[in-house]
Amino acid sequence: MADPVIYLDHQASTPCTAAVLAAMAPWWSDQCANPSSRLHRSGLRAAAALEQARSRLGAALAVDLDRQPQRLVFTSGATEANNLALKGLAEAELAAGGRRRHLITVASEHRAVLDPLRHLARHGFQLSELPVEPDGLLDPARLAAALRPDTLLVSVMAANNEIGVLQPLAAISALCRPRGIRVHCDAAQAVGHIPLRPDALGIDLLSFSGHKLGGPPGIGALLIAPGLSLAAQQHGGSQEHGLRAGTPPLPLVVGLGLAVQQAVATQPERSTRLAALRDRLWQQLQAVGGIERNGAATPRLAHNLSVRVEGVDGAALHSRLRRHLAVSSGSACAGGEPSHVLQSLGLSRQQAAASIRFGLGADTTAAEIDAAATVVQDVVTALRRGPTG
């Protein structure tokens, strides 16, 4: 029986597409082999599948990885890719005797960026966490004012995982590149959801993840600018050009390659459809009254809507919503604490807790959107009526 709860939490995780599941299937069983086993045909076939996935990712991101395969490292997800990018760059700077010790990021980043940077700040680096404007966007003038001669890196995400706003990456890299400052971008919520050409944008390090775009969890990748050296963060073998030891999970790699290829190919049509559904949801929620949108109306992801409900308790709101809807208040990774992202916009803890993130997915229908709006309306009306509601 189908789950009666409507799943609108695609920014936490998406289901694998049927094509991705089918493409992965043989690599778990009949075709199983280690891509590093080069003495038999099965191993060679596995190695070819690994490189085909890399090549697909390159084509989707407009990077020629056939000629420069070392520019992409498969990881266990965006968290690991971020760690490799940030700690790997900082350690490489130390190892090369460089003097840049200053790192910059933004208060509304995912913890998978904030925590590795804070770790570096406890180990000899200085970290500036810039505030965002009330609409969630970084003002490039604020970044310009924070840059220093010893700034090594600026890390700013492409699309926010909670409020969906798109950061001004072109302006950020235009400030950084002439100063020799490296740009890292956590694009976990952006690859396959917006057009993205990292080389043309001047992004040196780009992290992404399979389970945000119709691929499997447990796999992601880091794209690295040509010639940029990183220190490996995992040791124990020469896989992934010495940057990520350990046998790559081939079925997941195959799944990621196809998922990204498909997500990028279908993105324009999907975004148009989901933006219309997202706007339909927003219109219906506005009719309830006392519901405000979190984050800028534009530029934002087509499949995200984050709202705060005035005059209700967040815990009560979500305990009633969850009977009918799978939604979040903030990030799935925040462990129940009111979201630091929403608080970075100036929201109180209460407002952050009484926020709802709707993450639409490729299969979301208009009927589901209408049903979700009705659920919110009923729950909010009942809560505002008080204990008898």
The binding site for ligand PLP (CB under 6 A) comprises: 77-79, 110, 112, 157, 161, 186, 188-189, 209, 220, 332-333
Q: Is 69 helix (H, G, I), strand (E, B) or coil?
A: helix
**CB of residue 100 to ligand PLP, shortest distance in Å:** 24
Q: How many Å apart are CA 350 and CA 340, to the nearest integer?
A: 12
Residue closer to ligand PLP, measured from CB, 77 or 101: 77
**CB of residue 157 to ligand PLP, shortest distance in Å:** 5
Which among 250, 224, 185 has a CA at the least distance from the CA of 232?
224
Active site residue 176: no
* Two structure tokens written together for 159: 């699309």
Residue closer to ligand PLP, measured from CB, 291 or 341: 341
One-letter amino acid identity for 318? H
Residue closer to ligand PLP, measured from CB, 13 or 42: 13
* Two structure tokens written together for 84: 């490799």
Residue closer to ligand PLP, measured from CB, 173 or 328: 328
Output b/e per residue, 326-359; b: 16+ Cβ within 10 A. Answer: ebbbbbeebeeebbbbbbbbebeeebbbbbbbbb
Whose tokens are 């049509």? That residue is: 269
Segments of the chain assigned E as strands: 6-7, 72-75, 102-106, 126-130, 151-155, 182-186, 205-209, 220-224, 291-293, 304-309, 325-326, 355-359
Quickly list H helices, 322-365. 340-344, 349-353
**CB of residue 64 to ligand PLP, shortest distance in Å:** 25
- Select the residue whose beta carbon is closest to ligand PLP and give its number: 77
Whose tokens are 């050296």? That residue is: 229
**CB of residue 200 to ligand PLP, shortest distance in Å:** 21
Long-range CB pairs of 243-249, under 8 A, 24+ apart, other chains included: 243/70, 243/73, 243/84, 243/88, 244/73, 244/74, 244/75, 244/84, 247/34, 247/35, 247/36, 248/35, 248/50, 248/74, 249/218, 249/219
**CB of residue 163 to ligand PLP, shortest distance in Å:** 11
Residue closer to ligand PLP, measured from CB, 151 or 209: 209
One-letter amino acid identity for 325? L
Neighbours of 387 (CB within 10 A): 5
Catalytic residue among 32, 176, 185, 333: 333
**CB of residue 38 to ligand PLP, shortest distance in Å:** 30
Q: How many Å apart are CA 358 and CA 369, to the nearest integer?
A: 10
Residue closer to ligand PLP, measured from CB, 178 or 335: 335
Which among 377, 372, 379 has a CA at the least distance from the CA of 6?
372
Residue closer to ligand PLP, measured from CB, 284 or 343: 343
**CB of residue 208 to ligand PLP, shortest distance in Å:** 8
| Residue 309 C-alpha from the chain's centroid | 25
**Residue 79 burial by Cβ neighbours in a 10 Å radius (0-12, 13-18, 19+):** buried
Task: List the catalytic residues.
Answer: 333
